[in-house]
Structures are given as C-alpha cells and as structure tokens.
Structure 1
Amino acid sequence: MGVIEVDRARARGPRMIPDRPWADTILDEAVISAQRGDIGPAIAALATSRGDPETRSLRVEALSRALIGASRFIEAQLAYDQGNPDLWLWLGRTRLEEAWELRPDVRARAVQADRLHAYQSAMESARQPLLAAAGLASGDPVPWECLMWLAVGLDRPRADKDAVWHECSRRWPSLYSAAVVRLITLSPGWGGSAQETLAFARSAAAHAPEGSPLPALVPLAHFEITAAGRAPMSRGGWFPFEAQRDIVSAAGHWSERRFGGAHPRSIEAHNAFGAAFFLADLRRPARAHLSRTDGRFSRLPWSHLGDPAQQYRRACARLNL
C-alpha cells in the first residue's frame, strides 16, 4: 500500500461495527440470522451459554436487541417448548428492549400520557417470562439482572430495586452487566447520589476477580455523574483532575488475564476507558484502549456525548486510529 492509499484509509477511519461490542463469532452469526428471521442459531447460542452467566448475559442482551419488534418468533417457539428457560429469558429481555423503544422523553411525559401507558404496559409484559425463566433455572442470575432493568424502567421504589439486586448478586457476585445496572440505579440521573455511585464502582473494582472488567465501572460512574448535570454533545471539561486520577487508577488495576480467554465484556470496558481518556486529553491511554475495540463500539458511554457512532468515529479520527 502506497502513501496515498494509507492516507485514504486513515481518512475513512476505522471499520465500525455498531452495537456488537464483543469478540464472539457464534453471537455474530446468531444475531445476523435472527435479524433475518431465523432464530435457530440464537436458540443454540443461548443453550451453550448455560453455566456461563457472563456469556449468557451478553448473548441474551444482543439477541434481544436483534429481535426488537419480532418477539412473536420466540412466542411461537415457546408454544412447542414451554420448559425451555432460554426461550423465556429471551422473550422477557426482548420485551424489555421493545419497551425501552417506547419510553417517552421525560420532558414531554405530561403531554404523552398514552405513550407512557403503552411503555409501562410493555415493560410489565416482560415480568412473567422473566419469572418463568428464573423458576426454570433457579441458579441463573441473568433473569434477575433483567428484572433489575424492569425495576429501573418502571421506577420502582428503592427497596424493590435493592431486593432484585440481592437476588442477582447472590447468584453471581461479579456479573459485569448486573453491576452496570446497579451503577445506573445508584446514579444521580435515576434518583441516587454521586457518593453512592462512586462508592459502589470503587468497591466493585477493588474486589474484581482476575480478568474481570469491573474496574471499568469507575469511568462509567464518572460519566453517569457528570452527564446528570450537563447537556450532551459537549466534550470539554468532562472530568476534573480528581476524576481523571480515579480513572487512571482503575485502569491500572484492570488486567485482562483470565483463565479461558478474554472476558466477554472486555471490548465494552475498552470503550469505557478509551472514551474517558479521550475526553481527558490523555491520548496515549485513549489510543491503547480504543485500538483494542476493533471498530466495535458500545452504546455506553458514547451515548452520553450524543450519537454513539459519530462520537466513536470522531474520537478514533482525532487519535489517528
């Protein structure tokens, strides 16, 4: 490749793969098939994830987003396989994702009563399938993680949110995706406080098992806290020095060494650290983390800045990735 070709490649930026922040070829194939109406590979992918909550959580989340608006395919399959916990879990999570699409803007809820009612009804429709999944697989924390999202979405009392978190965490204390929901639950934007958000993130990072990306909760916590008090699309002045030092320390504690290979959520963690370092103008660590995402960006934390695809591409372009 000559000089001109290199310049053109840089101008185009990284090859982006939206909404697929993982290194899981089985999941890639299952998502593509599900989007085409073939749910067979997805059912197989969920079945092989039993006993591995980290992979199971990631797969059901991705496959549910792939089937938004088409949950009837899962319902049809359930008619022939009522005792399958994977199908109940997938149906419940898909209904959650469909409900989030209906959520009215908080500033317009007073004039969107019908939309708010539709949203709440859609959220409630996820409860029974998730409870069925929890009953069929009593040791599985993933249905309880989904029920945490349900409690957040319906703005249930704090005691209800705490109770569901307890059920999830006692089954798998280090489940990354559940910790993210808990972090959001505690954040100022959802009725919590900056103090308890940071305390939770720091504690989770300090007690993370080897190879776990839980230290990435620290930059996510700072994003949640800062975003609660500012408009999107603003890059300057996101993190004061103390927050930057906190994020640098958390990054230093994260080791990707893990028996059995990289953690399923590692790419999400690289997005979290990379975005934070980019906003702090710490170019070297920002490049180090974003170069390891392979063009696969996650919704969090980029959505705090605006459109995730645009913000991720802009960061990579400015870092010459």
Structure 2
Amino acid sequence: MGLFSRRKSGLPQRAVIQGHTYDDADLDAAVKTGELAAALSVLGQCRRKPEVRALRVRVLAETLVGKAEALLETAYSTDDPDMWLLAGSTFIQEGWAIRGHGWASSVGDDRFRMFFATLRKAVHPLHQAAEGLPQDAVPWAEMQRAAQGLQAGRDELDAIWREITSRTGTLYPAYYTRLQILAKKWGGSHEEMLAFARLSVDAAPHGDPLAAMIPLAHFEVLLADLQDLIENKHTFKAAMLPNTYFSKVRAEIDTAADKWMVAIPRQHPRALEAHNAFAAAYVLAADPARARAHLVAMRDHLHDLPWAYYIDYDKVRDEYLRAYGKFVLKPAVLH
C-alpha cells in the first residue's frame, strides 16, 4: 500500500536483521552446512521440544525449497519420522512459493492448480511423521497449514486442531495458523477470531509470548478494514485508520502484554516475533513507553508481519527505523 509509505530521510542507521527472528545457533549451523544430515540432526535433538522443533522444521524447509521430491524419496528409504516431517514441510513451503502471499484474487488459475497439487503431496509424509512419533504435535501443526491452503472444510480443520491441542497447549505457530483460519479473509469472522485470541491468552501461562495472539488478531481486523476502505476509495480514512484503530484497542493489548512481561519471560523461540507484534501495535497506538520497550526487545530483528499489514513490504525496514528513531533514540514523553 504505497499510500502509507514514508520517506527515508532522517532514518537512523541500524544493522537490521530481517527475516531471522530467532536465536538458535545449532539451527544456523545446520542451515549453513546445507547438509541433510545436519538438518536431521537438529530435528532429532528437539523431539520433546515442540516450539523449537516447529521453528527448526519451518526454517529448514524454507532452505530446501525445490528439493521436496528428493526428500520424499529419502523418507521412503529410511522411514525416519524427522525425514517424513521435513519432506512434508518442504512441500508446504514449495506450495506457498508457487502461490505467493497476496490476496487470492491476484493468483491465477494455473498457479492455484499447482499450489493445490503441491500441498496435497505434503499430506502423506506428514501423516507418516505423525504415526512415527505419536506424541509429536509438530506434524499436526504442519498438517493444519496444508489443510488451510487446501481450503479444507471446517470439520476437518477442527479435527486437526484437536489433534494439536491434545499434544501441546501453547504451540505458537499452530495457534497463529488457527487464528488465520478463523480470520475473515479465510472465511471466518472478526468475532470468532478475536474470541479465539482472547481464550488463547487466557489459557497461556504467565511469561508466554502466546499473548501476541491479541495484537496479531487486531492486525487481521485492521487489514480487512483497510482493504474495504481502499476498495471503496476512502483513501483519507484508510490513511488514518491504523493509528485510530490501535488507540481504541490499546487497553486489551496492554493486558496481553502485561501477562507476557509481568515476570521475567521464559525463553521462547518466538519471543522476537511476539515483540514485533507488540512493537508495531504500540507504534500505531502512539504509546511511547510500551513502544520503546518492545522495539528495544526486538534487538533489531525485524519480522515482516505485522508491519507489512499497514506498510509496503519493501518499506517495512524504513518503518521500523522511523519508529526506532521516534520512540527509542528520541527522549520519550511518558504518559
């Protein structure tokens, strides 16, 4: 949305790390080697740590796009649950690479056919991974992503969700995917999605970044409302909406943030992602103290979402730098 782009002048100079919002030296080392054995090793290390495992398989699959068929052949020959999981996850990444992440209206019929065909290839290996490690929630979390893309019916999506929650209570990426499934753009509603986000935060233990489901849900509402305004040529209202919307919902976001940060937060692979969600929300709400706290906690690790919900993808870094200069480098006036 070029409407919300900002000029580069006066932006602070920061060594921004974009698209790497995690701290995992073992995963980085495995990615750097580019060897399948290293990938399987780091997956094998975290079979009892679903948050770590979910992050690692997603990152590894991103680096292996284009090799899913070869991974599947290896899985058949080894019958290793980690190999099955990696193959299935890589098919999902390949599918989304084909489709792209824009609105469905921007995707042609041929690309949709390729997208669906590629996602369907993920289903069998993910079932094999789930059978190999029955208590592992991660194959089901990945299955949920495939089912979402395949536009599975609500009964099937709900059944997969029950499989996930029977194995783990707070798997961050699985909750985020469920949030997307319930969003208006995927055929759900604002009301059901927000209710899910609130229940998720209520159920999460203190110190868990699952609290970020609240700002993330509100960004989904904002995105839908912005789209409606732009389609109806209300450009001035669209330009004003991000700030006015988050000013109105700030109290609920405060409650979620406080539950996460009330004590020393537990170490979590998605903490930097969650700080991005809260930072963007507080930047729009113009809350200097809270914006500063989460911007600093990001440690210059920038996640495209949710910033790209109200700014062009290629302007996300500039938006972050502008916010950093305003709320961190300049003295904040505290309310």
- TM-score of the alignment, normalized to the shorter chain, above 0.5: yes
**Counterpart residue identity of residue 16, structure 2:** M
Kindly indicate whether residue 161 of structure 2 is the aligned counterpart of residue 155 of structure 1: no
Distance 1:294 1:129, change over 3 A: same
Structure 1 CA distance for aligned equivalents of residues 115 and 262 of structure 2: 39
Which residue of 2 is the match for residue 67 of structure 1? 64
Which residue of 2 is the match for residue 7 of structure 1? none
**Counterpart residue identity of residue 110, structure 2:** D
Q: CA deviation at 1:289?
A: 0.6
Structure 2 CA distance for aligned equivalents of residues 32 and 218 of structure 1: 35
Gaps of 5+ in 1: 1-9
Which residue of 1 is the match for residue 38 of structure 2? 41
Structure 2 CA distance for aligned equivalents of residues 218 and 288 of structure 1: 18
Q: Which stretch of the first structure deviates more once superposed, 90-99 or 310-319?
A: 310-319
Structure 1 CA distance for aligned equivalents of residues 53 and 130 of structure 2: 14
Structure 2 CA distance for aligned equivalents of residues 309 and 89 of structure 1: 32
Which among 105, 108, 111 is matched to residue 107 of structure 1?
A: 105
Q: Which stretch of the first structure deviates more once superposed, 54-63 or 23-32?
A: 23-32
Distance 1:250 1:267, change over 3 A: same
Q: What RMSD, in angstroms, separates the aligned Cα atoms of the two structures?
A: 2.3
**Counterpart residue identity of residue 147, structure 2:** A
Q: CA deviation at 1:42?
A: 1.6
Q: CA deviation at 1:263?
A: 1.1
Could you tell me the percent identity over the aligned residues? Answer: 33
Provide the aligned length of Structure 1 versus Structure 2: 305
Q: CA deviation at 1:196?
A: 1.1
Which among 197, 212, 215 is matched to residue 193 of structure 2?
A: 197
Q: Counterparts of 1:1-321 in structure 2 under 5 Å?
A: 13-34=13-34, 38-72=35-69, 74-75=71-72, 77-78=74-75, 80-82=77-79, 84-103=80-99, 105-109=103-107, 112-231=108-227, 236-238=240-242, 239-255=245-261, 262-308=267-313, 310-320=315-325
1:244-269 superposed Cα distances (whole Å, 9 cap, x missing partner): 2211121111138579x511111111
Structure 1 CA distance for aligned equivalents of residues 87 and 306 of structure 2: 26
Structure 1 CA distance for aligned equivalents of residues 240 and 320 of structure 2: 13
8 Å CA contact 2:295–2:324 kept in 1: the answer is no
SS of alignment partner, residue 171 of structure 1: coil
Which residue of 1 is the match for residue 331 of structure 2? none
Distance 1:131 1:43, change over 3 A: same
**Counterpart residue identity of residue 17, structure 2:** I
Gaps of 5+ in 2: 1-9, 329-335
TM-score (norm 1): 0.87
**Counterpart residue identity of residue 29, structure 1:** A
1:262-319 superposed Cα distances (whole Å, 9 cap, x missing partner): 1111111101100111111223211211211222222321231344563244223332
Q: CA deviation at 1:242?
A: 3.5
Structure 1 CA distance for aligned equivalents of residues 263 and 36 of structure 2: 33
